[in-house]
Structure 1
Amino acid sequence: MYKTQTRVLVIDDSAFMRKMITDLLSSNEQIEVVGTARNGEDGLKKIKELSPHVVTLDVEMPVMDGIATLKNIMDTNPIPVIMLSSITKEGSTKTIQAISNGAVDFIQKPSGSISLDIDKIKEELIKKVIAAANVKVSKHPKSTEDVDFKTAVNQTFKNSHAQTIVAIGTSTGGPRALQRVLTDLPDDFTTPIVIVQHMPPGFTKSLADRLNTLTKIHIKEATHGEIIQKSTVYIAPGDFHLKIRKMGTSFAVELSKEAERSGHRPSVDVLFESLAEIPNVNKIAVLLTGMGNDGSKGLQRLKEKDSSTVVVAENEESSIVYGMPKAAIKTNTVNHIVHLHQVGHTISNLIKKPRGM
């Protein structure tokens, strides 16, 4: 259940943005803006004084920027933080860093010097703040040693084909979850992975670039028409659906601007449904943390077309937001419900076999 009212502190160096964000949030009766701060140092003092449930935090500020402020919050008094970011390359890079360092989510700042289109983000901002208020933020996340691995998967596919594709869908909390899953895969992991992460244009490239520095597996933003290669992870670019299509004995990336699905482009459903149409390939579909139910319809389609598809969902304990995995589990298509720290191991154990892509 939601708290009676979500107490929010707004930290931004722009007086205009502080006023606009306050007005937008205050328009919802579930939210009370308890204060504002003009930079990180001011914000840290206000957090101690006002005890907010959620903080909105500008990425780029003087005196103490959003990255340094977030680190201090996470080290001393962890509370849910939503970053506000510009769409510049530096802004998107810092935002991905912030998400990886503990921020729950981010909002893309309205474009334009006067920010006249800020009301476009009103619904998204309110939705994310209310969701963030229900997120448990820990100073010391569980280490791998704290997780029960008794349910580790040792099976392989029942009907083993020569080629395998892993498809992953995620939203809120996804960048951190993806980092965990991809770095848990062995360095010699060769099966291609295709990912839909709900994120605006520009940010998916920064996400791919950051993740690519953390593992020997090649991680990139997908491009239209490219042939899917071994030992490579493809992340759908923001504002494009990603489909997989068969080309001879290979697979290709197809990007499209088709209508949004359930408010999303890229959509996990679109990715999963495209995979469902490809015969004679081992399929692993994974649903990680995220708001909403994107991916559920695609999972049902996958199982209808190929009952040997293996579906893995992150469990409630480790999910930042238990929306997408919960919706997936309700479809009765999920084979394995596992802690985030087990997802990478589950994937690699499932496809350990003499042959494979």
Structure 2
Amino acid sequence: MKRKKVLVVDDSAFMRKLISDFLSSSPLLEVVGTARNGRDALDKIEMYLPDVLTLDVEMPEMNGIEALKAIMELNPLPVVMLSSTTKEGAENTITAMNMGAVDFVPKPSGAISLDLHKVKEDLIAKVLNASEVPVRHLKKAERPFQGITRPAASSQQSGRNQMAAWNSHSEKIICIGTSTGGPRALQQVVTAIPENVQAPILIVQHMPPGFTKSLANRLDSLSRISVKEAENGELLKKGTAYIAPGGFHLKVKEKSSGLIAVLDVDEPPRSGHRPAVDVMFESISNISSYDKIAVIMTGMGTDGSKGLLELKEKGNVKAIAEAEESCIVYGMPKAAISTNLVDDIQSVENIAGCIMKYLPREV
């Protein structure tokens, strides 16, 4: 297999050497060059024609955000950001995700991370994954896939769901799972949901601690609904989206007062993820008095598909998966669709409208 060409961009010579050495240890990657800032990176892209870039956020002359904007305008490439875990670093990372960066790796201890070896395997995996993303998926589609609606497959798991007629006036809960490419997809979906949406919304986005709060704050500033990082024990309200904090599984309990958010740090990661979509879906499947709308969007792996089985077996559920045409990475939606339990397959531009058709109108 031909090795993927990587350009490493960082203002620290030490970090450029360390990152290059880590990536070069993979037989599937070849570091073809390095750059010391964004302006240097633009020149080196023309020189080396890399398949993928690692891009530091904080650099002199032209920082990572400015460089990313120029790259996406002039010569779109898959980009993996390297970011500090400071509040400013997290906010810049979320901005980068929405500008077209495929993924990010947090530096363990700031701009010069002597302990970068802690994220070596994660760095290699994310650069490899990013190198496979088609450049066309980094741009917004001009003609969105119009989507299909289909009945869930006849199976033992979905039997109850098919027998139960969908009642648009019953109590609803919306649960959304996403991973690689998720921040940009979430921005498109969440900002299109009206403020009078008659359901609470729970979101799992695979992210480490420190970044989910910045994601929630950004979405809240752009959306008509309220968006916040979920807090343990809080009452879930209609018209509010709750994002699982990094490092915690997000679960739900039903009490006399309503639905309560539960943050679980004791249950181990599921398939390497905490929060995990499967854990959220499985928890919500036990809420018998609510119908569910489950959405699985762009992401690597299969998280969400096992939880979807639980949802469909135990309750009345409508499942929506993002279409391949708009996914940055088609892994999670593909796994969900392969269960034959997905009701709608939609491009990301159409998902909010698809959610709303299953909800009661405000009277």
CA 1:114–1:211: 2 relative to 1, 3 Å? closer
Letter in structure 1 aligned against 2:74 = T
Report the Cα distance in structure 2 between the residues aligned to 1:16 and 1:234, rounded to whole angstroms: 39
State how 1:221-300 maps to structure 2 within 5 Å: 221-257=229-265, 258-300=267-309
Structure 2: distance between partners of 1:198 and 1:236: 9
Residue 31 of structure 1 corresponds to which residue in structure 2?
29
**C-alpha RMSD of the superposition:** 1.8
> What secondary structure, in the 3-state scheme, does the structure 1 residue paired with 2:262 have?
strand
Q: What is the CA-CA distance between 1:160 and the residue it aligns to?
A: 4.9
Equivalent pairs counted in the alignment come to 348
State the identity %: 55
- Offset at residue 112 of structure 1 (A): 6.1
Question: 1:185 touches 1:344 (CA, 8 Å); kept in 2?
Answer: yes
Contact 2:197 2:239 in 1 (8 A): yes
1:180 deviation in Å? 0.4
**Separation of aligned partners in 2, 1:115 and 1:250:** 45
Structure 1 equivalent of residue 117 of structure 2:
119
Tell me what 2:206 maps to: 198
The Cα shift of 1:81 comes to 0.6
Q: Which residue is equivalent to 1:168?
A: 176
- Displacement of 1:205 after TM fit? 0.3
| Structure 1 match to 2:348 | 340
Q: Deviations over 1:118-169 (max 9, x none)?
A: 11211111111111111123475224xx22547479xx96145631100000
* Residues 9, 36 of structure 2: 8 Å contact kept: yes
Moved over 6 A (4+): none
1:70 matched to which residue of 2?
A: 68
Aligned pair in 2 of structure 1 residues 175, 150: CA closer, same or farther (>3 Å)? closer
Q: In structure 1, what residue type is equivalent to 2:141?
A: K
For the structure 1 residues 114 and 148, does the alpha-carbon distance in structure 2 shift closer, same or farther, using more than 3 Å as the test?
A: closer
- Which structure 2 residues correspond to residues 135-146 of structure 1 after superposition, within 5 A? 135-138=133-136, 140-143=139-142, 146=143
Unaligned runs of 5+ in 2: 151-163
The equivalent residue for 1:133 is 131
Given the superposition, is the C-alpha separation of residues 238 and 24 from structure 1 closer, same or farther in structure 2, using an over 3 Å criterion?
same
The alpha-carbon deviation at position 189 of structure 1 amounts to 2.1
Contact between 2:193 and 2:224, CA under 8 Å: does it hold in 1?
A: no
* Deviation per residue, 1:173-232 (Å, 9 max, x gap): 000000001122224323210000000111000000001111110000001000001110
**1:344 alignment partner AA:** A
Question: Take 2:361 and 2:237, find their aligned partners in 1: how far apart are those partners?
Answer: 19
Q: Which residue in 2 is equivalent to 1:53?
A: 51
Structure 1 regions of 5+ residues with no counterpart?
none
Report the residue type matching 1:335 in the other structure. D
Tell me the residue number matched to 1:220.
228
Q: What amino acid is aligned across from residue 305 of structure 1 in structure 2?
A: K
The match for 1:147 among 144, 147, 157 is: 144
CA distance in structure 2 between the aligned counterparts of 1:177 and 1:114, rounded to whole angstroms:
31
User: What residue identity is the alignment partner of 1:133?
Assistant: S
Query: In the alignment, which residue of structure 2 is the partner of 1:310?
Result: 318
Match of 1:181? 189
TM-score by length of 2: 0.92
Q: Which amino acid aligns with 1:255?
A: L
Secondary structure of the structure 2 residue equivalent to 1:196? strand
Aligned to 2:106: 108
Residues 314-349 of structure 1, C-alpha deviation per residue, up to 9 Å, x if partnerless?
A: 011110000111111112221111111111110011
Q: CA deviation at 1:265?
A: 0.4
Q: Distance in 2 between matches of 1:295 and 1:5?
A: 31
Deviations 1:280-310 (A, max 9, x none): 211011000000111111111111111x211
Q: Which moved more, 1:165-174 or 1:117-126?
A: 117-126
8 Å CA contact retained: 2:147, 2:347? no
TM-score (norm 1): 0.93
Per the alignment, in what secondary structure is the counterpart of residue 62 of structure 2? Answer: coil
| 1:161–1:282 Cα contact (<8 Å) kept | no
Using a 3 Å threshold, how does the CA distance of structure 1 residues 157 and 75 change in structure 2: closer, same or farther? Answer: farther
SS of corresponding position for 1:213:
helix
> Is the 2:12–2:112 Cα contact (8 Å) retained in structure 1?
no
CA contact (8 A) 1:100 1:175 kept: yes
